[in-house]
Amino acid sequence: MTLDSETRYAVSDSADTADGGTVTITLDGKTVTVPLNPSETLLESARRGGLVPPYSCEAGNCGTCIATVTEGRVTMRLNQVLSDDEIAEGLILTCQGMPETTVVVDYD
């Protein structure tokens, strides 16, 4: 995982382009994959996949929705919770995370 502190995103070395991409999310041992919609957050993608992910403020302020990006590139619209080191480790606020490529996200 690498970190770009200017735009505040996590990216793995295996990122593909978003066209025709997917979002794969694991929560409470259940994994779902949905088509990537570049206009929705990872939290919205999880809901669309039938999961009930943790969240509270949906504004990037509380950290309830933190998950780990294990593959792909995600940009956060806003982040007032995670440090640069945490982002470099792959942590993301799913309520603010916009997938730029096919991504794999793990809440567990």
Task: Please count the other Cβ atoms lying within 10 Å of the Cβ belonging to residue 15.
Answer: 18
pLDDT in tens, 38-51: 999 999 999 999 99
The CA distance from 24 to 74, in Å, is 13
Fold of the domain spanning 2-106: Ubiquitin-like (UB roll) (3.10.20)
Amino acid 20: pLDDT: 80
Q: Domain ranges in the chain? A: 2-106
Instruction: Kindly tell me if the per-residue pLDDT of 5 is higher than 60.
Output: no
Amino acid 19: pLDDT: 60
**Which amino acid is it at 94?**
T
pTM of this structure: 0.82
